[in-house]
Structure 1
């Protein structure tokens, strides 16, 4: 009986620690995505750059170009011209996160109500030297 009890507690401990590690990664990914959301909502280019791997690209579109590839440094620079820290009308929320070892995907909804716009952003993340970074982002928009 004592042997069964010991196996039970060891199994419970292993399962619990695996769960805590997964939760920790999810929390870190949420923090990374929320840096992006905060940076783009409050005109904070440095916060945007913190969320991304420095060589990341964003795959966007605009009226004259169905695939517009923008390096993160150029994307963040677009927020430098605006008043830093001032809410610009963008709100965002994380819809989903899926983690597999040291890679993950995340999905967020971004709303700009004054323009009646809704964006869906899909992020590809990688755990690099213990930190989750966005290595790529694609977005689509709807009126």
Structure 2
């Protein structure tokens, strides 16, 4: 009986460590997007995405604004790289299921009084987590 408890404990620890490792890798991917968009690094933003990903964004007077990762990165192209541009990002949740994941982040831009919720779909491709889709909604008080 003691053998089974030890075996079960080791299995549980292994599964827990695996999940933490996956979640850490996803966090790193999301942080590339957050850091890239907060410090105006278009290539860092693009590196977080699968190149054919779709970004469904919010834009005033437009029901949906669809961009590719390259088009989204280009929005930061003319800004000074490495200088904080006022965008704060915070990962709220990550839910992993094998080689797919869903994540939620809050993006705030206090100087413009803007708050967004971003929902991400991620997939592990060739051993690396990539954002395959992103939808953003502006939260209005």
If the TM-score is normalised by the length of the shorter chain, which range does it land in? over 0.9
Structure 2: stretches of 5+ with no match in the other structure: none
Could you give the per-residue CA deviations for residues 12-50 of structure 1, whole angstroms, max 9, x where no partner exists? 111110110000001111111111000000000111011
Structure 1: stretches of 5+ with no match in the other structure: none
Alignment of 1:33-52 (within 5 A): 33-52=30-49
- Match of residue 92 from structure 1: 89
Distance 1:54 1:35 in 2: 15
- Match of residue 11 from structure 1: 8
User: Structure 2 length as normaliser, TM-score?
Assistant: 0.96
Deviation at 1:142, TM superposition (A): 2.5
- Residue 69 in 1 paired to residue 63 in 2? no
Distance 1:22 1:48 in 2: 25
- Secondary structure of 2:54's aligned partner: strand
Alignment of 1:76-115 (within 5 A): 76-115=73-112
Distance 1:140 1:76 in 2: 18
Distance 1:33 1:61 in 2: 19
How many residue pairs end up in the alignment? 140
Could you give the per-residue CA deviations for residues 42-96 of structure 1, whole angstroms, max 9, x where no partner exists? 0001110111111111001212321111011010011111111110000010001
Runs of 4+ in 1 over 6 A off after TM superposition: none
- Secondary structure of 2:76's aligned partner: coil
Deviation at 1:136, TM superposition (A): 0.4
State which structure, 1 or 2, has the greater radius of gyration over its C-alpha atoms: 1
Deviates more, 1:4-13 or 1:81-90: 4-13
Distance 2:88 2:137 in 1: 16
